[in-house]
Structure formats: structure tokens, C-alpha cells
Amino acid sequence: MLAPLTCGVVMLISGVAKVGRPTATREAFMAMGVPQALRSETLVTSLPFVEIALGVLLLATWSWPLAVVGAATTALFAAYWVLVLRVLRRGEEVDCGCFGALGDDRVSATTLARNSLLVVLAVLTTAFGAAGSGVVPAVRDFGTTDWWWLVLSVAVAATAVLVVGLRRHEPAVADDDLLDYERAPIPFALLEDESGTRVTLRQLAAERPQLLLFLSSHCWACESIAENVPAWMSQLGPVQVSTVFTEPLQRVPDKMRRDGVPLWFDVEQGATDTFAHGRPSAVLLGADGALAGGPVTGANAVVTFVEEIVAELSSAPDLPVPVEPEHASIGAHEHSRDDGHGHA
């Protein structure tokens, strides 16, 4: 009985957590690489209710109806499993949005293990229903010992959830603290353009503020960000928009390139490891050698971040757009002098 009970509870939690959050679900669909044909508005908005319905039916049906519902649940869990495996093979850092508003859910080997277990439980649920049983008839036959096992199982599960939840969620930040953005010095990281010219982050922003967009050609959500870049360039005035990749620039496809937007290869992934906890991500570098905003991660967060920058610029006095400087190649001796913290 624990198989359909577990699957039903997981489906209910997942569905309820996604209700009212179509934007986050849509973003997760793109990040996970869900095929375009399955990313329609109807499917995005109906997914939470489909999961809730499956959760209720897993708990309330038995015999062949439970076998049918179990098969549908198995298919859904298997589809999630395939998407997670593809993300892991691409080596991308993605938030699957598996449990909606319950928080960050980075795709990892743990995610794949969890989904593997859910697939097994869904198969057992199907077999449970095919054998003519279900949660309701099983509960009817419970004796005192059975109830104690159920109570202890729920207690163990609840304890595990609470322990993991306490480890994963950081304490809330007071509103006053959010208003005080810590302008830390721009750290050292090395970028290289298609001609082989190398610059540090601080040198890149020395003459003009830089909005760095961390993208990947294997990231579906990154495509939507790339499509917005031309419009952002016309709105950001003195701020230069640049895109940063960890893959060789010759492999970046045309769909990720935009006229007038510099492409940078992140040498040894120094900038990505510092600012990008997933793709797409963004950070604003100030011309004064300090961070001016971000970093943020996720397509929706990046769009909001850029909108906030545009709003700030629109309320500031008109500023001239600086001429893009010529960056000279940097030798190893220059690297040792500028580590982003003012010392060798």
C-alpha cells in the first residue's frame, strides 16, 4: 500500500505547489528541454491539475482503475526521468521546478535517483491495482500492527522532509537588508573573444558598465534570453550587453548570436563558477570596479533584472554612451597583478 500512497502524496504536493505559477512552470519546461510541441500554454497551465487529479485517483481508486492510473503515473514519472537524464548528460545546472513554489530544485544525481525510485513505485502501484487492491480496500483490512507500521512510515518520511528542508532553505532576509546591495569588488576572471584577445572582468568594465549574460547553446531557456538581447541593447543606453559561454565560441550556433553583441569564452570557467548557478544567469559590472547588480539565475529572473536596470537608467540623468575601447591581450605578468581584489 505504501507504493500508491507515496506516489499519490508526491503527485498532490507537486501539483498544488505548481498551481498559480505558470511562468515558473513554463521556464522549467524550457530549461529541461521539453519538446516545443509539448510546451503549449494549455499543457503548461493544465499540468498542475493533471498531477492533482492523478494524486487523488491514486489514493481513491483500486483494482483495474488503479492499474490504469498507475500506468499513467508511470508514464509521467518516466518522462520526467528521461528529461533529468538528458540535463545531466548535457552538464547543465537547471532548476526542474519539480515541486513548484516549495523552492530550489537543482537537477543532480540525487534528482535522478529520486525519480528512479518514483518510477519503481509507480510500477508497483500498477501491479497493486492489477491484483485487485488499492489504498482504500487495504486500509479496510488494517489491524493494529498495520496501523502502527503506517504511522511509523509517515513519521520517518516527515522527519526526512523536515531535515532536508532545513538544510536546503536559507533563512529569510529582512526587507531592509535587501535594499542594501553589497558592492563587492569585481573578482578576477578571464574572458577571451573569437580573435583570441583576453581581458579580465575589471578591464572589460573599465570604460563602460557591462551586463554579462551567461548562456549555453544547449539551454532552451537561453534561447529566449538571446531573442530579447537586441531590444535590451536599445534600452540599456550606456550599459554594454555581452554574452558569456563555457563552450568554444566556434560551436556557438547562429541562433545564440546577435549583431553588435560581444561573445566571450569563459577561460577556465572563472566567471561562470562565480556568478552563474545555472543558465541563463546575469550580473551587472560597474565601471568603477565593483559589482552593480546581481547575479541572478533563471530566465524569468534575468528578464526582471534587466527591467529593473532599465527602470533605474530611465530615472537617471542622460549619460553619453562611451566608445568601446580596444582591449590588448593580457600576458601572464598582468594576470598576477590584477586578481580582482587589489593584490597579486
Q: Strand locations in 39-126, DSSP E?
A: none
Phi, psi for residue 247 in degrees, rounded to 5: -95, 155
* pLDDT the model gives residue 328: 40
172: confidence class by pLDDT, cuts 50, 70, 90: very low
**Mean pLDDT, all residues of the chain:** 81
What DSSP character marks residue 106?
A: B
Residue 139 to residues 129, 134, 143, 243: CA-CA distances in angstroms? 14, 9, 9, 58
Query: Which run of H or of E encompasses 244?
Result: strand 240-245
Contact 198, 267 (CB under 8 A): yes
DSSP H helical segments within 144-210, as ranges? 144-168, 175-179, 201-204
User: Most confidently modeled of 38-47, 131-140, 282-291?
Assistant: 282-291
Count of helix runs (H) and strand runs (E) in the chain: 13, 7
Neighbours of 57 (CB within 10 A): 20
Measure the CA–CA gap between 141 and 137, rounded to whole angstroms.
7
Instruction: Name every residue whose Cβ is closer than 8 Å to that of residue 208 and which is 6 or more positions away in sequence.
Output: 238, 239, 240, 287, 321, 322, 324, 325
Lowest mean pLDDT among 77-91, 154-168, 179-193, 302-316: 154-168
Closest residue by Cα to residue 120 from 285, 200, 2: 2
Q: What is the pLDDT of residues 59-92, one digit of tens each?
A: 999 999 999 999 999 999 999 999 889 888 876 6
* pLDDT the model gives residue 317: 59
Residue 22 to residues 26, 44, 272, 277, 305: CA-CA distances in angstroms? 6, 6, 28, 22, 19
* pLDDT the model gives residue 37: 78
Global pTM? 0.59
What DSSP character marks residue 224?
A: H
Instruction: Name every residue whose Cβ is closer than 8 Å to that of residue 148 and which is 6 or more positions away in sequence.
Output: none
Query: Order of strands across the sheet with 263-267?
Result: 198-200, 190-192, 263-267, 240-245, 210-214, 281-285, 291-297
Identify any residues that bridge with 62 across adjacent strands, giving them in sequence order: 134
Return the CATH class of domain 177-337: alpha beta
* CATH 3.40.30.10 domain extents, the chain: 177-337
